[in-house]
Amino acid sequence: MEFNIKLKRTMIIGGGSAARILIKEIFNAKHSPYIGDKYAAAYVPVCIIDSDKEKFGTYIHGVEIIGGNDLIVKKAKELNIDVIIIAIPSLSEKARKELIDICNETKLPLKIVPFVGSLILKNEKSILNQVRGINVEELLGRDPITFDNKDIKNFIQGKRCMVTGGGGSIGSELARQIAQYEPEEIVIVDVYENSAYEIQQELRMTYGDDGLNLITLIASVRDRDRMDKIIQVYNPQIIFHAAAHKHVPLMEVSPMEAIKNNVVGTLNVAQLAQKNNVEKFVMISTDKAVNPTNVMGASKRCCEMIVQYLAQQKKGVTEFVTTRFGNVLGSNGSVIPLFKKQIEKGGPVTVTDERVIRYFMTIPEAVSLVMEAAAIAKGGEIFVLDMGEPVKIVTLAENLIRMCGKEPYVDIDIKFTGLRDGEKLYEELLMDEEGIEKTDNELIYIGHQIKIDQNTFMDRLNVLIEASLKNDCETAVQALHDMVPTFKDPKEVNENAIKEREEKEKENAENKDFQTV
Give me the phi and psi of 281, to 5 degrees please: -120, 120
E-strand ranges in 98-248 read 110-112, 132-133, 160-164, 185-190, 214-218, 238-241
Across 134-164, b (16+ Cβ under 10 Å) vs e yields bebbbbbbbeebebeeebbeebbeebbbbbb
**Cα 18 from Cα 23, distance rounded (Å):** 9
Contact 114, 86 (CB under 8 A): no
Give me the phi and psi of 481, to 5 degrees please: -65, -40
**Cα 107 from Cα 101, distance rounded (Å):** 10
Hey, CA dihedral for 270, 273, 277, 279, is it positive or negative?
negative
**Cα 228 from Cα 269, distance rounded (Å):** 8
**Cα 304 from Cα 286, distance rounded (Å):** 10
**DSSP for 37-91, written as a single string:** TTEEEEEEEEEEE-S-GGGTT-EETTEEEEE-GGGHHHHHHHTT--EEEE--TT-
User: Which of 437, 458, 461 has the alpha carbon at shortest distance from 447?
Assistant: 437
Contact 206, 178 (CB under 8 A): no
Q: Which residues pair with 40 in a beta bridge?
A: 5, 34
Residues 6 or more apart in contact with residue 332 via CB below 8 angstroms: 168, 169
Contact 112, 137 (CB under 8 A): no
Q: From the DSSP assignment, how many helices (H) and strands (E) are in the chain?
A: 18, 23
User: 3-class DSSP state for residue 383?
Assistant: strand
Q: Is 288 an active-site residue? A: yes
Across 423-461, b (16+ Cβ under 10 Å) vs e yields bbbbbbbbbeebeeeeeebebbbbbeeeebeeeebeebb
Catalytic residue among 55, 159, 288, 300: 288
User: Which of 465, 330, 484, 333 has the alpha carbon at shortest distance from 396?
Assistant: 330
**Cα 109 from Cα 81, distance rounded (Å):** 10
Contact 41, 10 (CB under 8 A): no
The residues annotated with a catalytic role in the active site are: 288
